[in-house]
Amino acid sequence: MIENIAIILLVFLGQVNVISDVHEGPELLTQFIKTEFVKQDVNYKKSNWDYYYDNLYLENSLYSLPRKIDSDANIDINSKSAIAFDVETDFILYSKNSEKKLPIASLTKIMTALIVLENNKLDEIVTISENAFKVKGKKERLTIGEKISVENLLKIMLMSSNNIAAVALAERTSGNIDDFIDLMNKKAKLLGLRDTVFYNPTGLDQESDNISTAYDIAQLVDYSLDKPLIWEYSKIQNIILSSLDGKINHKIKNTNLLLGKFENITGGKTGFTDKAGECLVLIINDANGKKNQIITVVLNAKDRFQETEDLVNWVYKNYDW
């Protein structure tokens, strides 16, 4: 009996097409259960990441879905792609080409931070390598051979989008960049981010650019809310951080100009390259705390801050919960 159940489960899960020997069933099932996929999958807050599309009927019975107050209200967003996403219900409040594949620049660092936090302790020490130091971008007094904590490098990476910090953290996590990129892509696949692929931990333009969609990024951000440190660090406006020996100070200023302009920001992440244009993620509640938390994403915007501000204001003006 157990052999037949094992065979049915394995075939159903797509792990095998045919099992010629019935006695292979239990052994293969045990191997499958022990895989990292299953270990990680049971921890997801949503078992099916295509939650909005596949379970809207369930959403209607479990939640009070956002209701558009003015059916004729519209908004003109100039970015190539944008989305506004309700965190509690996974309801899409606004969409413009939200499944269009585009370069995502430093929005990449959301996934980088997620992988780093899942594989390191905050007080672990990172040594800045020559390989990390030579990466394109601002230095912010980071130096070759400097020893600095994972926590401080995460803050530098998320606040100022520092590429040295991203590469150094990737090397600390996996030993080399290629293995870290493999972790990023495995995580994307595991989360069901079908239109997302990573080629580096920074988001810098190269021969093959990191590609995603506004929809996938919103799903990634939604998942990453279970790692609140990412977003706590991302909303620090200014800070001075030190190397392990205290001899080197790093004065860091956040690149997100909406901090201090909006109340109740949970966090955000900026991105910009020549190919990707201006990109921005923002997580926010309405100022009065009466409406749900939303995630907005704009990709390849002409003015990411103004367009995000307009989108947030439009959502809270035109939707009720």
b/e sequence 37-74, b meaning 16+ C-beta within 10 Å: eeeeeeeeeeeebebbeebeeebeeeeeebeeeeeeee
Q: H or E segment at 242?
A: strand 238-242
Number of C-beta neighbours around residue 267 at 10 A? 25
Dihedral-angle region of residue 300 (phi above 0 means left; psi in -120 to 50 means alpha; beta otherwise): left
Count of residues making up the chain: 321
Question: Exactly one of 79, 98, 106, 174 is catalytic; which is it?
Answer: 106
Token representation of residue 118: 């899942």
Does domain 81-320 fall under CATH 3.40.50.1820? My reply is no
The residues, any chain, with a CB within 8 Å of residue 78's CB and separated by 6 or more, are 301, 302, 303, 307
Render each residue's pLDDT in the chain as its tens digit; 321 residues: 444 444 444 444 444 444 444 444 445 444 444 444 333 433 434 444 454 444 444 544 455 788 888 777 889 899 999 999 999 999 999 999 999 999 999 999 999 999 999 999 999 999 999 999 999 999 999 999 999 999 999 999 999 999 999 999 999 999 999 999 999 999 999 999 999 999 999 999 999 999 999 999 999 999 999 999 999 999 999 999 999 999 999 999 999 999 989 889 999 999 999 999 999 999 999 888 778 999 999 999 999 999 999 999 999 999 988
Q: Locate the domains of the chain by residue range.
A: 2-34, 81-320
Residue 129 annotated in active site: no
Distance (Å, whole) CA 107 – CA 280: 7
| pTM greater than the 0.85 cutoff | no
Dihedral-angle region of residue 277 (phi above 0 means left; psi in -120 to 50 means alpha; beta otherwise): left
Question: Exactly one of 79, 98, 109, 269 is catalytic; which is it?
Answer: 109
pLDDT of residue 224: 97
Residue 47 annotated in active site: no
Residue 45 annotated in active site: no
Question: Exactly one of 161, 174, 224, 243 is catalytic; which is it?
Answer: 161
Token representation of residue 228: 């609140």
DSSP 210: -
Are 120 and 173 contacting, i.e. CB atoms less than 8 angstroms apart? yes
